[in-house]
Chain A
Amino acid sequence: MKTLRSSFKVPGGVHPDYRKQATRDKPVQVMPLPALLRVSMAQHMGAPAVPTVKKGAVVARGEVIGKAAGFISAAVHAPTSGTVKGIVDAPTAGGAVAPAVEIEPDGRDRWTDSLKARPDWRNAEAGELVAMAAAAGIAGMGGAGFPTHVKLSPPPDKPIDTLIVNGAECEPCLTADHRLMIEHADAIREGACIIRHILGARTLRVAVEDNKPEAVAAMEKALGGVEGDVAVVVLKTEYPQGAEKQQIYAITGREVPSGGLPMDVGALVENVGTCMAIRDAVVDGRPLTERVTTVTGTPLARPGNVLARLGTSYADLAGFCGGLMSPAAKVISGGPMMGLAQHSLDVTTSKTTSGLLFLSPDEVEAFTSLPCISCGRCVEACPAYLMPCEISRMVEAEDWEAAGWYDVMDCIECGCCAFECPARRPLVQHMRQGKAWIMAKRREQREKG
């Protein structure tokens, strides 16, 4: 086990004010069960799950309430024991409306035993462990929500030799992963080892930014006895140091090809929360039912890191943190760079809700954007080597093909370009428009055959 100090600088990148002081030293608080939990079927990338329970059903914690629908999909489980009040159409953080199972907790928090624990996972076959991850409904908890069991099943011609555990948490204001590393370093280590065992990866790296020295120390201690090529890599604090492709390049020197995936270069990145969830599923037989969310913001009375059940409404989360002392002009699910603005606190937490941020009116500015002056700051800031100014102009002119030639599909939507733009242009929104058009075109062509 060694500690490597990386001098890698993300190509471009920005240095926003990180503002983690409000919650970085606050231990994770366990939130008591709210009166109602509304668990969305669309908590992951891919097809939403299909509800498997009906109104009036009595469920135990960890019981399947939604089954995966299709190859890229994940199961959804009851976050606590209780009665199903109904299946409703509920808004998600992304704005889409999806079916959700409403559960009224009975207070007993009874666990189901449908998932058989495998504490001796070192003797298990990779396939069996992947099936457990699928049965536990684990999806990427860093924010993307990609079904983990799919990620852990790369095709045989793309073997993985490097597993990177992502503890960078480069988003300002968020400290959930930071606290997880300090308080549950051993669990994360075990989860990482399980994943390493599944993939047969030789190399294990845990990436942490250097603004989290306590987390670095905790992970160093936890990884002490692990065999093989293991190291904690301390990365320079920069946004977006946590971006998957950039992190792979920082740690291994391999560049994921344009339009490609990490498995194309034999690497895989998993968030620390996901590692812990894998460990809970395999070692304790517990499906994914809760996660840590950083609830913070100046209008909030008591910002903190909250361990809440999936399906907890944002209103309840805010209430647990003392409520709002002053009106909030903006509510963001996630961090201020890549998070999504919300218009209703009825939205509930999902597997990917890493943060809930309240911004006061003087922290928010309604902007009008001006024409691009070709200053090039966005080009300098882009970590994916793109030219956001050009793509933005192409999207405005609706020249979608040109946007495709300029690699809009490689945009990771990190927001560095919009952060830097002096003309306050809505660059990320333009990128999304370009991507949406190209994906629609590809779908059309697939259907045409």
Chain B
Amino acid sequence: MILTTATAIGLMGLACGGALALAARFLSVREDPRVERAAELLPGANCGGCGYAGCADYAKAIVLEGAAINLCAPGGGEVIGKIAQLMGVEAAAAERKVALVLCGGDSGNAPRRFAYNGVADCRAAHAVDGGDKQCRYGCLGYGSCARVCPVGAIEITAGGLAVVHPGVCIGCGACVKACPRSLIRMVPVSRTIHVLCSSRDKGPIVKQACKVGCIGCTLCAKLADNGAIAMDGFLAVVDYDKELTNEAVVEKCPGKCIVQRSMEGATA
């Protein structure tokens, strides 16, 4: 009895297995095994920060379409290194970057010019008469960036200003795309001096619009060594690729818009 059972099942199993083996042999589609390996190496968060529809898609793109291997910000240097090994290329070491909102205009510093009574979304508010803040370039504080952050790293303060917590930020860049005023910038974690303003208006206009706005006096650009701060019209912009050690720019700024702030935050 046991023998019949065992033989029957055994034969059926063999038959099925054999059929599958044959199929695998003759009907298989050649697929690069590196795709699966690359997918295993990636973090698997599917945050989309690399620009592809999830980790599996990015793995495929790396192996089959030659996509850049350093697009995974959450994975960081470790993952990039491993993928570089897999693909047999040099790893382009990229320092970890976190998001920073380049605006300091909360309700205490930057007044609103009319009562906005509509959808609480920054893109919607921006479309209504250019936004309800006096400053045309400042943070509207309705939370579009906070809502899109996959890890909840962005807080809208009581004063209506978006602030990123660098320790929580995984650097996926979703907030950068969500902000209708392009206020958010990805900055390397090692940099500590930042110009918290994005207003391109002339000095007198900025002074009326915000207490901590950049008035375009160019003092910081002159004080900073090796051009680490450059003027873009009436706005001072930090070049994060350059080393900026002259901390005097923070006190000397008449607009009070340059701050010294660590981007490390709590260790992950």
Contact = CB atoms under 8 A, between A and B. Distances in A.
Judge A-B direct contact (beta carbons within 8 Å): yes
Interface of A: 91, 94-97, 340-343, 366-367, 426, 429-430, 432-433, 436
A429 B119 contact: yes
Interface string B99-136: 00000000000000111011101011001111000001
B180 to A, nearest CB: 10
Contacts of B123: 433, 436
Contact of B113 (A97, A343, A433): A343
Nearest to A95: B129
A96 B119 CA distance: 19
Instruction: Give the secondary structure class of A's interface.
Output: mixed
A433 B121 contact: yes
Nearest to B112: A343
Contacts of B118: 426, 429
B119 A366 contact: no
A436 B114 contact: no
A69 B137 CA distance: 27
A432 B126 CA distance: 12
A426 B119 contact: yes
Given A429-B124, A433-B124, A340 B129 contact: yes
7 contacts: A341-B128, A342-B129, A343-B113, A426-B118, A429-B124, A432-B124, A432-B127
B117 A366 contact: yes
Contact of B130 (A97, A366, A426, A433): A97
Interface residues of B, number: 14
Instruction: Give the secondary structure class of B's interface.
Output: loop
3 tightest Cβ-Cβ pairs between the two chains A and B: A95-B129, A343-B114, A95-B130
Contacts of A367: 117
B192 to A, nearest CB: 35
Contact of A95 (B119, B124, B128): B128
A203 B217 CA distance: 66
A432 B157 CA distance: 28
A430 B121 CA distance: 10
Contacts of B136: 97
Contacts of B119: 426, 429-430, 433
A95 B117 CA distance: 15
A429 B128 CA distance: 9
Nearest to A331: B114
A94 B129 CA distance: 6
Contacts of A343: 113-114, 129
Contact of A341 (B113, B121, B129): B129
Contacts of B127: 95, 432-433, 436
B162 to A, nearest CB: 18
A94 B114 CA distance: 15
A272 B210 CA distance: 46
B116 to A, nearest CB: 10
A424 B115 CA distance: 17
Count chain B CB atoms within 10 A of each CB in A343, A426, A432, A436 and give the residue with the most.
Answer: A343
Contacts of A341: 114, 128-129
Contacts of A429: 118-119, 124, 128
Interface in B128-166: 128-130, 136
A91 B136 CA distance: 12
A96 B115 contact: no
Contacts of A342: 129
A103 to B, nearest CB: 24
Contacts of B115: 366
Contacts of A96: 130
B204 to A, nearest CB: 14
A343 B117 CA distance: 13
Nearest to B117: A366
Given A426-B119, A429-B119, A433-B121, 11 more contacts: A96-B130, A97-B136, A341-B114, A341-B128, A342-B129, A343-B129, A366-B115, A366-B117, A430-B119, A433-B123, A436-B123
Nearest to A367: B117
A411 to B, nearest CB: 15
Nearest to A341: B129
B125 to A, nearest CB: 10
A436 B115 CA distance: 23
A173 B114 CA distance: 24
A242 B238 CA distance: 54
A247 to B, nearest CB: 28
B121 A91 contact: no
A95 B114 CA distance: 12
Contacts of B113: 343
Nearest to A440: B123
B24 to A, nearest CB: 38
Nearest to A425: B119
Contacts of A94: 129
Contacts of A340: 129
Nearest to B128: A95
B177 to A, nearest CB: 11
Nearest to A364: B117
A340 B124 CA distance: 14
A259 to B, nearest CB: 22
A341 B127 CA distance: 12
B153 to A, nearest CB: 19
